């Protein structure tokens, strides 16, 4: 079994627990690296790891909520709870970025020499390697389980890896050039990159909460599946889709001859629903039956209130 397939088999819960543990370890490593070197860039890196810890903990809590079955108050399930995790982590990232930019701005006005660069950079590289390995595994599992919370945490960790790489490069340039102002400038660049990532996470979460349509490739698969059943006496219209956490939903109308028996129409509907759900993992299909000569008027202009 390949490493990628093994990663995909790991559940979101297991990987988020691992994310909490790795975040705690990297906080210790990066804080020690900052204390050894005095680099504000490494300080910014350590601050982002604190965000990783809080975000992973909240994502784990939301995944547990999303896994709860439907109940009387939530008949469609709790899948959207994962979007709260992604949005919350995005907000945390923005708060951390503000702290990084504040610290870097102060250091830019009063540059300070860096110390013990070798041990400090070694600790930073080690923590980045841990984050990179975990983020890769999380992204593989997120694609398999269609977990928004897991994908958000994975992409945040990848951002952390690139952030660490930028900080290390900045410190190396300071060591070779002696230009102390490079350290806070790199920290500012890191902070701005974190702002971008945080804003993207918040945006994706908001789109999920607003029932955004499914991805173009999934819509194309739905169209191909429906085309297999299309006939001169059978047609489909009013196809609408949305995504709710791990679940995908499609609603549509299926028109057929009015002289068909209810049993025959229901059998065809069941076949179409099964085909759709087999073609698109996690899909729930709802099909309304209509005679060929009856049209729905959902798009008609409504009378003003």
pLDDT tens, residue by residue, 77-119: 787 787 777 787 778 777 777 766 776 676 677 666 655 556 7
CA 3 to chain centre: 22
Q: How far apart are CA 195 and CA 99, in angstroms?
A: 11
Do the Cβ atoms of 28 and 45 come closer than 8 Å? no
The size of the chain, in residues, is 305
**Domain residue limits, the chain:** 3-209, 216-291
Instruction: Encode pLDDT of 277-301 as tens digits.
Output: 999 988 889 999 999 877 765 555 5
Enter the pTM of the model: 0.60
Residue 159: closest CA among 7, 48, 55, 84: 48
pLDDT above 70: residue 302 = no
Contacts with 172 (C-beta within 8 Å, 6 or more apart), sequence order: 121
**Angle separating helix axes 117-145 and 40-66, nearest 10 degrees:** 20
Which residue carries 């629903």 as its tokens?
Answer: 273
Domain 3-209, classified CATH 1.20.1510.10, yes or no: yes
DSSP β-ladder status, 247-256 and 283-291: parallel
DSSP 231: B
pLDDT above 50: residue 303 = no
Q: Give the per-residue pLDDT at 6.
A: 65
Q: Give the per-residue pLDDT at 305.
A: 42
Q: To which CATH superfamily is domain 216-291 assigned?
A: Cation efflux protein, cytoplasmic domain (3.30.70.1350)
Q: How far apart are CA 170 and CA 40, in angstroms?
A: 11
Do the Cβ atoms of 246 and 145 come closer than 8 Å? yes
Q: Give the per-residue pLDDT at 304.
A: 46
209-243 residues labelled b (16+ CB within 10 A) or e (exposed): eeeeebeeebeebbeebbeebeeeebebeeeebeb
């Amino acid at each position: 079994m390949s490493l990628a397939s093994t990663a995909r088999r790991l559940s979101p819960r297991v990987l988020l627990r691992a994310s909490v543990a790795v975040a705690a370890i990297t906080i210790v490593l990066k804080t020690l690296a900052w204390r050894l070197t005095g680099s504000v860039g490494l300080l910014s890196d350590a601050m982002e790891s604190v965000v990783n810890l809080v975000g992973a903990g909240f994502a784990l809590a939301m995944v547990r909520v999303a896994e709860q079955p439907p109940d009387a108050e939530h008949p469609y399930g709790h899948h959207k709870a994962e979007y709260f995790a992604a949005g919350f982590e995005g907000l945390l990232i923005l708060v951390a970025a503000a702290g990084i930019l504040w610290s870097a701005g102060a250091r830019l006005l009063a540059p300070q020499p860096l110390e013990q660069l070798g041990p400090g950079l070694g600790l930073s590289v080690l923590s980045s390697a841990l984050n990179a390995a975990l983020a890769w595994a999380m992204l593989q599992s997120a694609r398999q389980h269609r977990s928004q919370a897991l994908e958000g945490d994975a992409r945040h960790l990848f951002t952390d890896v690139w952030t660490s790489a930028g900080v290390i490069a900045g410190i190396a340039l300071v060591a070779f050039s002696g230009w102390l102002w490079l350290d806070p400038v790199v920290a500012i660049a890191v902070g701005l990159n974190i702002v971008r990532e945080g804003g993207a996470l918040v945006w994706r979460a908001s789109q999920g909460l607003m029932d955004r349509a499914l991805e173009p490739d999934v819509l194309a698969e739905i169209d191909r599946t429906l085309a297999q059943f299309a006939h001169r006496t059978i047609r489909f219209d009013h196809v609408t889709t949305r995504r709710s956490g791990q679940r995908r939903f499609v609603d549509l109308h299926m028109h057929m001859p009015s002289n068909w028996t209810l049993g025959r129409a229901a059998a065809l509907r069941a076949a179409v629903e099964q085909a759709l759900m087999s073609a698109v993992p996690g899909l729930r299909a709802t099909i309304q039956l209509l005679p060929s000569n009856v049209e729905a008027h959902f798009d008609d202009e409504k009378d003003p209130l």
